[in-house]
Structure 1
């Protein structure tokens, strides 16, 4: 399997589904599972779905791409309350779990990647912080801090509890095109430093100028791991 490939030929993934349900419990909303997975496995490399088809689809959806690899269409499989691994004063958030036919999973909280599973080059295991994530607070608000400290765990290797320092830079309005629809977004660069490894990298967020919803992002999972680009096609609920 190519490292950048999310969706390949259809493979059995219901064992993964059942294991996820056992791990996360039975509280999450989970409707029409068979249809959700049928949609997830029907995607093709660099597939393009019409905007009208996406709007009529009763599922949240995204495009996702690892590094410069093929783009995958993904639908939301699970939405559940985020665990308390964050600051007590952080806004309540849902973890959105996006599954692919090759057993890959992306987990996001308000546009931030907080966990991945079964990606070929390695995975982000957990993000913890005593401070609310500025992305969750709303980067467009003048009251939102432009610095953030957190700890991250990732694999391969035994990388646990590495301190990470972020600084956000507002680059102003920028025109972006998602699925042939052009709009304006506030463009922010997150300058990230991992002091213990003497490494730095940048993340990018394009947010709705009024709501702060992350419309598009490019986020590096951890040092030595790939970037993941996410384009929001249809948001979940009131996101």
Structure 2
């Protein structure tokens, strides 16, 4: 997700234009997509008023070794799956698209697909079990283990099985949009079958509804981590 420095100068003008349009966040067709991201030589950091005045859901995204980007929601649609499991009503794919056509796809904060990243891409995540993040990781009734298969590129890695164990770390205060926010910190210990790779993902949840408000996730076993911070949530 790299955009030339001169695009950074468009930041203020573009936010004003977005505010003037006042379109609904009910994005249901590709014709409604908004493709905005701003990356320069330094991290992008918006103040709380700039975030609030933007009518679209938005995130910060930062891949290891690259500047932080501000990205708005392009599309929201029900999650498509090839496996027999029936997605829960909350399984909505949010597609975040940058101006250089790099895309992140998340489901309740879980990265499930990427496109056009320079480092490589997560092609698919499939499971016959619902992701504990969708069920509500903060609930006692939610399983704290999960098995899935993933595909990633380059080099055509298909059908690798990942086993996860979720552990609660504790309550923490994190800075979101200039505001100290209480969050539940969980780590996900991930083991990749058949190859000697283990790593951990970090998720910070809203204590009231279990929504992921911040995360640090590995894009794929041999790809870098990405930090995602929710600035303005999607309102369905």
Structure 2 length as normaliser, TM-score? 0.85
Q: Secondary structure at the match of 1:206?
A: strand
Kept in 1, the 8 Å contact 2:39–2:68? The answer is no
**C-alpha separation between the residues in 2 aligned to 1:126 and 1:204?**
20
Partner in structure 2 of residue 28 of structure 1:
28
Matching residue within 114, 120, 123 for 2:121 = 123
Partner in structure 1 of residue 51 of structure 2:
54
Once the two structures are overlaid, the 10-residue window that deviates more, 86-95 or 155-164, is 86-95
**1:93-119 CA distance string (max 9 Å, x none):** 111111112221100011100000000
The runs of 4+ residues in structure 1 deviating greater than 2 Å are 5-10, 27-33, 41-45, 84-90
Q: What is the 5 A alignment of 1:151-166?
A: 151-166=149-164
Aligned length: 214
Q: Secondary structure at the match of 2:118?
A: coil
Runs of 5+ in structure 1 lacking a partner? 11-26
**1:1-53 CA distance string (max 9 Å, x none):** xxxx533354xxxxxxxxxxxxxxxx9345654xx33xx14554411112122
Taking a change above 3 Å as real, the CA distance of residues 127 and 41 of structure 1, as seen in their structure-2 partners, is closer
Structure 1 length as normaliser, TM-score? 0.84
**C-alpha separation between the residues in 1 aligned to 2:110 and 2:64?**
17
Q: Secondary structure at the match of 1:48?
A: coil
Partner in structure 2 of residue 99 of structure 1:
97
Partner in structure 1 of residue 219 of structure 2:
221
Kept in 1, the 8 Å contact 2:37–2:69? The answer is no
Taking a change above 3 Å as real, the CA distance of residues 223 and 32 of structure 1, as seen in their structure-2 partners, is closer
Runs of 5+ in structure 2 lacking a partner? 8-26
Partner in structure 2 of residue 8 of structure 1:
4
Deviation at 1:123, TM superposition (A): 0.3
Partner in structure 2 of residue 80 of structure 1:
77
Q: Secondary structure at the match of 1:135?
A: helix
Kept in 2, the 8 Å contact 1:207–1:213? The answer is yes
**C-alpha separation between the residues in 1 aligned to 2:183 and 2:132?**
17
Partner in structure 2 of residue 177 of structure 1:
175
What is the alpha-carbon root mean square deviation over aligned residues?
1.8
Kept in 2, the 8 Å contact 1:90–1:133? The answer is no
Kept in 2, the 8 Å contact 1:97–1:106? The answer is yes
